Amino acid sequence: MTDIREGDGGAVGRFDLAANGEHWVLTMERRIRTDADTLWRCLTEPASLARWAPFAPDRPLTGTGPVRLWAAHVEDADARAGLVLAVQPGHRLAFQWGPDLVTWSVATAGDGTRLTLGHQFSDHGQAPAYAAGWQLCLKGLAELAAGGNPPLMVGEQALQYGWMDWYVWYARYWQMEPF
């Protein structure tokens, strides 16, 4: 895993991209300044997810089974079929988001909580876009979990918060051609 830095240069987390058979797995880890229960609610409750995630589910992500996932704050968006595959309350969540697999792991870490995101997908060329998007989403999640009111940084709004800069940064890091 590689450290990622923002603003003042302090490490805000780590990331990795690795091949897994015919798929790729983007892993991003952050230490969030909140307790595990608060972070878990932000990961599973529809109203909280709609404030930081790229999707809004039709139900809490606290039990296995089908779920519909709408693009957050996109008028007339079509829902993508999802499936919650595994839930260990307060610790682990795994779900399919269309053809992709997304996993969240939560663990107490000192005076905060360590969050690990895994996003498995098949199109290697999408890696910088996914990483840039999750970079902003995780920033919003951290602010929300700490009691703040983050701006929505998904969809077209992401461009206002540095998505393109992060996209180019990740593409260059992975030695890929941006767009």
Q: What is the mean pLDDT of the chain?
A: 90
Structural domain includes residue 178: no
Structural domain includes residue 179: no
Q: Which residue in the block uniquely carries the two structure tokens 């957050």?
A: 72
Give dist(CA 79, CA 69) in Å, integer.
5
* pTM above threshold 0.85: yes
Evaluate whether 85 touches 94 at the Cβ level (below 8 Å).
Answer: yes
The tens digit of pLDDT for each residue in 18-71 reads 999 999 999 999 999 999 999 999 999 999 999 999 888 999 999 999 999 987
Say which CATH number the domain at 87 has: 3.30.530.20
Q: Which domain holds residue 151?
A: 2-173
Q: What's the total number of domains in the chain?
A: 1
